[in-house]
Structure formats: structure tokens, C-alpha cells
Amino acid sequence: MLDGKSSSSSFSATFVLNIVPSSSGRGGHELTFMVSPSKQFPRAEAGQYMGIFNTENDGSPFNHVFAVEFAIVNGYNDGADSDGNHLEINFNSMYSNMSRLV
């Protein structure tokens, strides 16, 4: 916005992922790309909240977070998440709005 006029831009990106579980069996089963209005996540919890949300704000419409998860194991919400290799789309929550086997 150098000239005082608003404008929009587009971009494209390509990612190639190869997720290999660690031999320790602890972690390493998922990669998440996210878009957020802030780099700060106060009181964020590890584990199923991946350092983004916590028990109080998971699902809040005020989070303004979009996340794409690439996983090779079932997620925290096993009933809704797909088995095996899958991609998930999340808005403001760890619960998936869409999940597809890949």
C-alpha cells in the first residue's frame, strides 16, 4: 500500500512432506502450517493443543487461526479424525472442519 490505495496480492506455494515417526515413539507424527494474526500464544498448551490453543480458548471464534495439519496417526479427536495418513483443515480449534486421507 505504497500509493495509499489498498490492493490484494496472491501467492502460491508447493510443499513436499515426508513425515517419519521417531524411533522413540514420542511425537514427530504431525506437521502443521498455520495463519494467525499474532506470533504470541499466551497460555498455549502442548500435546493435543500443539502449542496454539488451550483448554479455555480451543474453539473460540476470537482465535482467528487457520491451520492445515499433515498427520500420519489418528489425532486427539479419534472419532472425527481419519485413520492413517491424512490432511486436516482447522479454524480456531483443534477439531477438524475437514479431513481427507492422502
Convert the pLDDT of each residue in 63-93 to its tens digit.
999 999 887 776 555 555 455 678 889 999 9
- For the chain, how far is it from start to end, CA to CA, in angstroms? 39
Of the CA atoms within 13 Å of residue 53, those in its CB half-sphere come to: 22
* CA distance linking residue 6 with residue 1, whole number of Å: 6
Q: Residue 27 has what pLDDT?
A: 53
By C-alpha distance, which of 56, 86, 55 is closest to 69?
Answer: 86
Distance of CA 4 to the CA centre of its chain: 34
**Is the model's pTM score more than 0.85?**
no
Whose cell is 510443499? That residue is: 15
> Which tens digits make up the pLDDT trace of 26-55?
555 678 888 998 888 889 998 778 889 999
C-alpha to C-alpha distance for 1 and 39, rounded to whole angstroms: 23
Which pLDDT score is estimated for 83? 59
Map out the domains of the chain with their CATH numbers. 29-102 (2.60.120.200)
The sign one gets for the Cα dihedral 84, 87, 93, 97 is negative
More confident residue, 32 or 58: 58
